[in-house]
């Protein structure tokens, strides 16, 4: 039995530990955001322009849920750990200070901990064992931000992994938010534009955000600075929240109708040659791209790709060795920048694999060569490949680009596109010249060719005479 003094101390401790509910007052001037925050649906989406306030709305949803369920755990995720931190972390800290939520922030793990013990975890889809970390858990609230940047696996992530995780709560919810992407397709497009899969839909723009100072004037200044008209696709997509095809924003211009292939064509008696492109990553993934080309064909084909996050040198070498046994590589090209130089040397010396350093000096020029091949249908990749899917996501950052320097947005990043670029730079296929057609004497084609040859010879003779007169007299002449 506790002594009186001990009993009093215990009561005081319990009193101090008791968490008083926080009253969250929504902004009456922001009905669009409020409707999103208070939506009771299990599946909610928000399609917003930039600077609309969707991240703040999502943060408030999280806090209200954490307030209701002490010691629970919610999850916020974006495409990468870095982007998730950059987007949500400062918003949470600002709201915590503004409304005195009393939350604790664990910077090293990106956890926001409510005074009642509820926790919000910040995660990126690039984290090691990402799916494994999510499976088997229960969450009263899950938010996926920048939904337009996720690839073909977003539906599986939601249906197979996250939907079971919110089933333990009667009012558990999953929110999918983002801005229209440069290509009107994919799961986020289907949810927001085509209204598939049963999401409760919300959309608004920065013009609806009462905390943006004079947003209309901001857009007018932006149009003038970028020399955009009212129908410019980037303006419509990023600032007016419209789904439009924005090809100018894409770094790589893959087009399924032109660049998809089913299988390598038969070219006997010629043969296919193979080049391996290797892009190394630590935070990112290692990516291996196998390209096929032939002297008898103008096209280059991406026939196999491997993308593996956070693997060691031994695992990488095993992958390269396995592909080398499958394909007779004429070249293997590796990203030897930074730590890659040591890894490349290790692969050469210890494993006897003859890799050469990739030429990264003229990367944008190499992209233009690749885009030209894509435009002409001379580069092929299967529409379901990671390369094809990433080509719809990786965008040019026009805010940082200049007429003589193209800057690509940091996220989404594509390792496989870099691997393809390294290999394509070494492929002779883009210099292919079709063999001359054999002409038979007496035919019209033969006569036309003879006439062109005589004309070209006469013109060359005329030019040589003109150059000779100029050298002799120091003057020129015109017909």
CATH number of the domain residue 51 falls in = 3.40.50.300
Q: For residue 442, what pLDDT is reported? A: 75
Domain count, the chain: 3
Cα 188 off chain centre by: 14
Q: For residue 432, what pLDDT is reported? A: 55
Question: To 10 degrees, what angle do helices 363-375 and 415-425 make?
Answer: 90
Q: For residue 457, what pLDDT is reported? A: 78
CB atoms inside a 10 Å sphere around CB 41 = 15
Listing DSSP states for 214-247 in one string gives SHHHHHHHHHHHHT--TT-HHIIIIIS------G
pLDDT (tens digit, 9 = 90+) per residue, 15-24? 444 556 666 7
User: How far is the CA of 330 from the CAs of 265, 275, 303, 359, 474, in angstroms?
Assistant: 20, 6, 15, 17, 54
Sign of the torsion formed by the C-alpha atoms of 387, 75, 110 and 128: negative
Q: For residue 1, what pLDDT is reported? A: 42
Last residue of a domain, one of 208, 239, 270: 239
Same domain, 375 and 265: yes
pLDDT (tens digit, 9 = 90+) per residue, 298-331? 899 999 999 988 788 888 888 988 998 999 888 8
d(CA 471, CA 146): 68
Sign of the torsion formed by the C-alpha atoms of 279, 281, 284 and 285: positive
Looking at the DSSP bridge assignments, the partners of residue 119 are 73, 113
Looking at the DSSP bridge assignments, the partners of residue 141 are 173
Q: For residue 251, what pLDDT is reported? A: 93
d(CA 46, CA 202): 5
Q: For residue 360, what pLDDT is reported? A: 72
Query: Is residue 108 domain-resident?
Result: yes
Element (H, E) at 31: helix 31-38
d(CA 335, CA 415): 11
Sheet holding 43-48, edge to edge: 104-106, 111-113, 119-124, 73-78, 141-144, 173-178, 43-48, 200-204
Query: Is residue 244 domain-resident?
Result: no
Residue 227 backbone phi and psi in degrees, to 5? 60, 45
Same domain, 54 and 152: yes
Same domain, 111 and 176: yes
Query: Is residue 4 domain-resident?
Result: no
Same domain, 203 and 264: no
Same domain, 228 and 292: no
Query: Is residue 463 domain-resident?
Result: yes
Same domain, 419 and 450: no
Would you give per-residue pLDDT tens digits along the chain (479 residues)? 444 445 665 454 444 445 566 667 788 999 999 999 999 999 999 999 999 999 999 999 999 999 999 999 999 999 888 899 999 999 999 999 999 999 999 999 999 999 999 999 999 988 777 888 888 899 999 999 999 988 878 999 999 999 999 999 999 999 999 999 999 989 999 999 999 999 999 999 999 999 999 999 999 999 998 889 999 999 999 999 999 999 889 999 999 999 999 999 988 888 999 999 999 876 678 999 999 999 888 899 999 999 988 788 888 888 988 998 999 888 888 887 766 777 777 777 766 777 788 777 778 888 999 999 999 999 999 999 999 999 998 998 887 887 778 888 888 888 999 999 999 988 876 565 555 566 677 787 767 777 777 877 777 777 777 777 766 765 543 43
For residue 418, give its domain range. 256-431
Q: For residue 145, what pLDDT is reported? A: 96
Q: Are 165 and 134 in contact (CB under 8 A)?
A: yes
Q: For residue 250, what pLDDT is reported? A: 93
d(CA 421, CA 358): 9
Query: Is residue 469 domain-resident?
Result: yes
Same domain, 278 and 188: no
How far apart are the two ends of the chain, measured CA to CA in Å? Answer: 121
Query: Is residue 22 domain-resident?
Result: no
Last residue of a domain, one of 239, 268, 298: 239
Q: pTM score, two decimals?
A: 0.74
∠ at Cα 40 (35, 44), nearest 5°? 70
Query: Is residue 298 domain-resident?
Result: yes
Q: For residue 441, what pLDDT is reported? A: 78
Same domain, 285 and 315: yes
Listing DSSP states for 144-155 in one string gives E--GGG--TTHH
Same domain, 381 and 467: no
Query: Is residue 124 domain-resident?
Result: yes
Looking at the DSSP bridge assignments, the partners of residue 306 are 288
CATH number of the domain residue 354 falls in = 3.30.420.240
Same domain, 319 and 415: yes
Instruction: Classify 357 as helix, strand or coil.
Output: strand
User: Which residues contact residue 251 at a Cβ distance below 8 angstroms, ignoring those fewer than 6 apart?
Assistant: 367, 391, 394, 395, 396, 406, 408, 417
Same domain, 184 and 151: yes
Q: Where are the alpha helices (DSSP H) in 262-397?
A: 313-326, 340-351, 363-375, 386-391
d(CA 390, CA 199): 25
Same domain, 353 and 380: yes
């Amino acid at each position: 039995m506790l002594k009186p003094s001990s009993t009093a101390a215990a009561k005081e401790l319990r009193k101090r530990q008791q968490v008083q509910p926080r009253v969250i007052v929504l902004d009456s001037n922001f009905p669009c955001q409020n409707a999103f925050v208070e939506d009771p649906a299990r599946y909610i989406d928000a399609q917003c322009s930039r600077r609309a306030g969707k991240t703040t709305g999502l943060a408030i949803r999280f806090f209200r849920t954490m307030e209701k369920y002490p010691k629970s755990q919610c999850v916020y995720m974006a495409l990468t750990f870095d982007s998730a931190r950059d987007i949500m972390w400062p918003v949470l800290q600002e709201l915590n200070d503004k409304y005195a939520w009393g939350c604790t922030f664990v910077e090293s793990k990106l956890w926001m901990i409510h005074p009642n013990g509820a926790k919000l975890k910040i995660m990126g889809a690039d984290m090691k064992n990402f799916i494994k970390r999510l499976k088997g858990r229960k969450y009263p609230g899950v938010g996926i931000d920048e939904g337009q940047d996720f690839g073909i696996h977003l539906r599986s992530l939601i249906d197979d992994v996250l939907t079971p995780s919110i089933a333990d709560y009667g009012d558990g919810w999953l929110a999918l938010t983002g801005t229209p992407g440069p290509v009107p397709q994919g799961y986020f497009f289907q949810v927001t534009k085509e209204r598939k899969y049963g999401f409760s839909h919300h959309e608004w723009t920065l013009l609806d955000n009462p905390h943006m100072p004079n947003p209309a004037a901001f857009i007018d200044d932006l149009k003038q600075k970028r020399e955009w008209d009212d129908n410019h696709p980037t303006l419509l997509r990023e600032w007016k929240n419209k789904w439009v095809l924005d090809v100018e924003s894409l770094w790589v211009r893959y087009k399924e109708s032109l660049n998809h292939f089913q299988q390598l064509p038969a070219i006997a008696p010629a043969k296919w040659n193979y080049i391996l492109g290797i892009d190394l990553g630590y935070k990112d993934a290692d990516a291996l791209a196998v390209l096929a080309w032939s002297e008898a064909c103008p096209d280059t084909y991406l026939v196999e790709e491997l993308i593996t996050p956070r693997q060691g040198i031994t695992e990488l070498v095993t992958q390269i060795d396995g592909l080398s046994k499958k394909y007779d590589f004429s070249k293997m090209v590796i990203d030897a920048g930074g730590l890659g130089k040591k890894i490349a040397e290790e692969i050469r010396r210890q494993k006897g694999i003859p890799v050469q350093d990739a030429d990264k000096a003229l990367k944008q020029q190499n992209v233009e060569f690749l885009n030209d091949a894509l435009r002409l249908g001379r580069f092929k990749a299967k529409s379901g490949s990671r390369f094809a899917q990433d080509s719809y996501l990786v965008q040019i950052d026009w805010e940082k680009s200049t007429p003589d320097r193209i800057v690509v947005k940091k996220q989404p990043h594509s390792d496989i596109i870099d691997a393809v670029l390294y290999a394509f730079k070494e492929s002779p296929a883009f210099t292919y010249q079709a063999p001359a057609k054999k002409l038979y004497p007496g035919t019209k084609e033969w006569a036309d060719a003879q006439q062109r040859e005589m004309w070209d010879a006469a013109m060359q003779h005329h030019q040589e005479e003109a150059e000779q007169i100029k050298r002799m007299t120091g003057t020129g002449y015109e017909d």
